[in-house]
Amino acid sequence: MAERSLRGMSIGAKSLESDENVDFAARTDVAYVCPKGHRTILPFADGAEIPDEWECRCGATAHREGDEDREGDEIAKPTRTHWDMLLERRSEDELKALLEKRLQMHREGWIPDYE
């Protein structure tokens, strides 16, 4: 009965059908994290090829989260922001000097305020 009435629908039938297929397939939720910390969760059908990278909504390249089997410990580390990496490379004093220099440049009109 229901099947017959579905078949009779000309426009909606096709999209309805594909929605059903997605729902019935076993899915794996894969999380991607971009350098800015955005988390994107995408459902992949079981057996589908899951990419290691995904373009985040902000345009940055997000990497697969929790993929411990990957070689190199860099990926297994908790997500670091650009700020974290900056702090690792420079001491606080250096950062203060940099900030001061940057602010001075803004005051003098060398660089426009983007934000």
Interface residues toward Zn ion, by CB under 5 A: 34, 36, 38, 56, 58, 60
> What whole-number distance in Å separates Cα of residue 98 and Cα of residue 39?
31
Q: Is 58 annotated as contributing to ligand binding?
A: yes
- Cβ-contact 42, 32 below 8 angstroms: yes
- As measured in angstroms, the least distance from the Cβ of 72 to Zn ion is 22
- As measured in angstroms, the least distance from the Cβ of 70 to Zn ion is 20
Q: Which residues of 13-32 are buried (b: 16+ CB within 10 A; e: fewer)?
A: eeeeeeeeeeeeeeeeebeb
Q: Which amino acid is at 15?
A: S
Q: For Zn ion, give the closer residue by CB, 45 or 64.
A: 64
Q: Is 106 annotated as contributing to ligand binding?
A: no
- Cβ-contact 27, 43 below 8 angstroms: yes
Q: For Zn ion, give the closer residue by CB, 58 or 76.
A: 58
Q: For Zn ion, give the closer residue by CB, 3 or 29.
A: 29
Q: What are the binding residues for Zn(2+)? A: 34, 38, 56, 58
